[in-house]
Amino acid sequence: MDMPSPNPAILARKARLAERLRAVLPADAVIQDEAETRVYECDALTAYRCPPLLAVLPRSTQEVSAVLRICHEEGVPVVPRGAGTSLAGGALPTADCVILGVARMNEVLETDYDNRIIRVQTGRTNLSVSGAVEEEEFFYAPDPSSQLACAIAGNIAMNSGGAHCLKYGVTTNNLLGITMVMMDGTVAEIGGAHLDAGGLDLLGVICGSEGQLGVVTEATLRILRKPEGARPVLIGYDSNEVAGACVSDIIKAGVLPVAIEFMDRPCIEACEAFAKAGYPMCEALLIIEVEGSEAEIAHQLGLITEIARSHNPVELREAGDADEAARIWLGRKSAFGAMGQLNDYMCLDGTIPVSSLPFVLRRIGEMSKEFGLDVANVFHAGDGNMHPLILFDANKPGDLETCEAFGAEILKLCVEAGGCLTGEHGVGIEKRDLMLHQYSAADLEAQLKVKDVFDPKWLLNPAKVFPLSVTESRRAVALAAE
Amino acid sequence: MMTPGSEAELAEAIAGASGPLCIQGGASRGLGVEGDVLSTRGLSGIELYEPGALTLVVKSGTPVAEVEALLAAENQRLAFEPMDHRGLLGTDGEPTVGGVIAANVSGPRRIQAGAARDHLLGVRLVDGSGQAVKNGGRVMKNVTGYDLVKLMCGAHGTLGVLTEVSLKVLPKPECSGTLVWHGLGWVASLKVFCEALKSPYDVTGAGRVPQGAAGKSMTYIRVEGFEDSVKYRLTELRRLFSDLKPDELNIDAEENAQIWQSLRDAEPFHGKAGDVWRTSVKPTDMLKVTGQRDFEHVVDWGGGLIWSLVPEGEDLRQKLADVPGHATLVRACADTRARLGVFQPQPAPLAAISEGLRRQFDPRGILNPGLMG
């Protein structure tokens, strides 16, 4: 992945910039030392690294505003950073940028159960939002698998999802209001504790804009009462086609599980070897979870198992108690760890229409042979969000490049099947150059026009989301204005 | 009136327009915008429906009724429960999917299932320069690039004219049940809403109408699902309200449909003189709106949405100046609409962004000009 070359004029102004930032921030909030800026050289896409010019760690909306105003005046690019867990390189710096980290802004500002909202500073981690309302049996629904570490700021930037979004939706469906600082330092309040913000749906376009439209410092999030209980069932089939048909039949029957997870044989084998969850060795494994009271769970599982049986499963295992439920989830939840033990891996997240699942899995199998790299699939089957894990050896010359080429072909396949490049991780730098496979130049132009309004100088996270060739003229204008 | 039969024809019509256009779907809302009428009714038809994938793709001019019938045959529905404005506005016409999406029209189930915008997966549109654009797609999780899908939903045609939309549909539940309280005051009604919505019983409707069949106000709580589950949850909910016992427990399918359609469409105000305002507030701020005792109110969304019947020409926004949220003037004569504005004015930074977006997507200012600012 190419990144634009740093602007020498900005590199030369490092000392002055640091001085100006120090004038508006506490002394320990401006990081200038090269050994310390290295902490921010990458996010969870570790194959790409570049220490930023400076990093700042403000504690308030006012401090964020002061930082952005200075960077705006100085014409310095800013890369916002939540917890740095992006798998797509969303927080990857350039050498001439300021990293604006919100990690120190992690307060809960308000919890209001009557109105079912929580207001937080966005540096707070996803899981600790649920933690803050757990006492009252509430939770925050979007649950990306990095939820222990990832920040709400990053969730909003990437419109993060999770395993339970078939029922509860993703970040954008659970975000009611924000405080956002624009690149010129203007503070904007959008939405609030009411359900629909007025005017154009700015909240909708800001959520998922990968930190390119503004820096969100506070968020009002919808919280929900926990269901009385939840229970999974595990179903094994000897073909992907049959497993796919089973999922489709369950949905058509009017049951809406909270999660439908799908694992293919390579994934089952790796998980079993790693976690010994007692999974059957078969071609396709479904884990389906339903919620409600005991009687409601029993009723829904009854319908699901009846449909599942009509497709002749090789295994059908209901969880009798919490232990058995945990064992059913054990393998799935350790899938990534299992892969990590086998090899280095790249995790993709293209989405496809559920109906094309068997075709796409078959093609991925064929491509795996062509590229000579193994691939295992875990999959949110209810919403079509795939997670192919391509295994490679980072120490073997050329393997990363082969893996990236294979990954790009899988994502193109997802688009051809009627799906998209990314379901929940975001584009970042990882999928940036594939955007023209999904969208025409005119489609992308419409998106760029939105950025032109929010950030006319193209200073916020400018080298992400869109192919560099597509944004070049706009970024050049920003440089020329120096 | 122009009624293009394809996206290409629509693009041509917009590119060739020499003045303002009034964008029209089924003409059931009557926007009151000056300009040549550009209708989407020529763009009608189902492009794709996969019940097993909960996905529907339709052209924007397709009647809502046609879509609802198609879905019902597979035991599915549009879960956001779009209202039908005809009764309230005294209009004819045939509501279209494009109109519903352009106005982000969402009914009582918005509190649980989300608004129209939460079920919209993708759009095709033609912007004010006549350029066709697509965004999103037909899959449920999609973060590929900016979410212009949401931006277009609720833009009332001011950023572009929708030509095709993809929607997430959901199963129609087996049963719907409603707890009904007669003659409950505002404070007690709010308490019922809050307690019910804080419970784990997955409430899908919470509202109040000023006068039900018995001549008293009616406060409603709805749950939906499999029949045994509905009965169980209604029983548990009733137990929650030991000091505020509901007067009825109704699981009759037709009566339930009637109750919620009436609330959805603000039926108590049909045919009554006066302006109708629609206010969106934090649910517990409902009392500040219903505290305007000179006006009648219909409440939905557990207190978060209030329909108010206000004497002609009076400005409800002025009375609610300190209440966070916004009020939309849904029904009034042309003069009042022009004087007060249909939509609540926004704070300066947001107004500037909105104006900037309009200028980008409609540089000549010809798409429903003036409607949103």
Please identify, in words, the CATH class of the domain defined by A230-335. alpha beta
The answer to whether A296 contacts B232, with C-beta atoms less than 8 Å apart, is yes
Output the CATH code of domain A343-433: 3.30.70.2740
Chain A neighbors of B155, CB-CB under 8 A: 200-201
The answer to whether A384 contacts B53, with C-beta atoms less than 8 Å apart, is yes
What integer pLDDT is reported at residue A331 of this predicted model?
Answer: 85
Nearest to A195 among B154, B202, B280 (CB): B280
B213 pLDDT tier (thresholds 50, 70, 90): low
Nearest to B139 among A195, A204, A351 (CB): A351
- Tell me the domain boundaries of chain B: 7-171, 175-264, 267-340
The answer to whether B140 contacts A199, with C-beta atoms less than 8 Å apart, is no
Distance (Å) of CA A401 to CA A111, A393, A404: 47, 11, 5
Chain B neighbors of A193, CB-CB under 8 A: 282, 324
What integer pLDDT is reported at residue A482 of this predicted model?
Answer: 56
Put simply, whether B342 touches A (Cβ < 8 Å) is no
Chain B neighbors of A421, CB-CB under 8 A: 144
To the nearest whole Å, the CA of A240 is away from the closest chain B CA by 16
To the nearest whole Å, the CA of A100 is away from the closest chain B CA by 21
What integer pLDDT is reported at residue B32 of this predicted model?
Answer: 78
Write out chain A in H/E/C secondary structure. Answer: CCCCCCCHHHHHCHHHHHHHHHHHCCHHHEECCHHHHHHHCCCCCCCCCCCCCEEECCCCHHHHHHHHHHHHHHCCCEEEECCCCCCCCCCCCCCCCEEEECCCCCCEEEEECCCCEEEEECCCEHHHHHHHHHHHCEECCCCCCCCCCCEHHHHHHHCCCCCCHHHHCCHHHHEEEEEEECCCCCEEEEECCCCCCCCCCHHHHHCCCCCCCCEEEEEEEECEECCCCEEEEEEEECCHHHHHHHHHHHHHCCCCCCEEEEEEHHHHHHHHHHHCCCCCCCCEEEEEEEECCHHHHHHHHHHHHHHHHHCCCCEEEECCCHHHHHHHHHHHHCHHHHHHHHCEEEECCCECCHHHHHHHHHHHHHHHHHHCCCEEEEEECCCCEEEEEEEECCCCCCHHHHHHHHHHHHHHHHHHCCCECCCCCCCCCCCHHHHHHHCCHHHHHHHHHHHHHHCCCCCECCCCCCCHHHHHHHHHHHHHCC
Put simply, whether A441 touches B (Cβ < 8 Å) is no
CATH (one of 3.40.30.10, 3.30.70.3270, 3.30.465.10, 3.40.50.300) for A1-226: 3.30.465.10
To the nearest whole Å, the CA of B31 is away from the closest chain A CA by 16
* φ, ψ (nearest 5 deg) of residue B264: -55, -45
The answer to whether B127 contacts A200, with C-beta atoms less than 8 Å apart, is no
Nearest to B147 among A161, A169, A172 (CB): A172
Interface test with B, best of A69, A114, A135, A301 (most B CBs within 10 A): A114
Distance (Å) of CA A336 to CA A53, A378, B90: 33, 9, 58
Residue B45 has pLDDT above 90, yes or no: yes
Nearest to B147 among A204, A225, A427 (CB): A204
Domains A1-226 and A343-433 agree in fold: no
The answer to whether B144 contacts A438, with C-beta atoms less than 8 Å apart, is yes
What integer pLDDT is reported at residue A337 of this predicted model?
Answer: 79
Nearest to A192 among B305, B324, B354 (CB): B324
To the nearest whole Å, the CA of B255 is away from the closest chain A CA by 22
Q: How much is the mean pLDDT over chain B?
A: 96
Output the CATH code of domain B7-171: 3.30.465.10
What integer pLDDT is reported at residue A341 of this predicted model?
Answer: 80
Put simply, whether B341 touches A (Cβ < 8 Å) is no
- Tell me the domain boundaries of chain A: 1-226, 230-335, 343-433
Question: Span B168-174, mean pLDDT?
Answer: 95
Output the CATH code of domain B267-340: 3.30.70
What integer pLDDT is reported at residue B26 of this predicted model?
Answer: 87
Tell me the HSE value of A352 on the side-chain side, using a 13 A CA sphere: 24
The answer to whether A384 contacts B141, with C-beta atoms less than 8 Å apart, is yes
B175-264 has CATH 3.30.70.2190 classification: yes
Interface of A with B in 110-149 (CB under 8 A): 112-116, 137
A-B Cβ pairs (cutoff 8 Å, strict): 263
Interface of B with A in 241-270 (CB under 8 A): none
Look at strands A375-380 and A284-291 and give their pairing: unpaired
Query: For B41-47, which contacts have Cβ atoms below 8 Å and span 24 or more sequence positions?
Result: B41/B3, B41/B96, B42/B3, B42/B4, B42/B5, B42/B6, B42/B9, B43/B4, B43/B5, B43/B6, B43/B7, B43/B10, B43/B98, B43/B163, B43/B164, B44/B96, B46/B70, B47/B164
CA distance A251 to A236: 18
Put simply, whether A421 touches B (Cβ < 8 Å) is yes
Put simply, whether A258 touches B (Cβ < 8 Å) is no
Q: What is the mean pLDDT of each run of 10 residues along chain A (482 residues)?
A: 93 97 97 96 94 98 98 97 96 98 98 98 97 97 92 98 88 98 98 94 98 98 96 95 91 89 92 89 95 91 96 94 89 81 88 90 94 92 90 92 96 96 96 96 98 98 97 84 58
Put simply, whether B157 touches A (Cβ < 8 Å) is no
Nearest to B151 among A205, A440, A444 (CB): A205
Question: Span B70-94, mean pLDDT?
Answer: 96
To the nearest whole Å, the CA of B115 is away from the closest chain A CA by 8
Put simply, whether B55 touches A (Cβ < 8 Å) is yes
Chain A neighbors of B373, CB-CB under 8 A: 199
Interface test with B, best of A196, A430, A443 (most B CBs within 10 A): A196
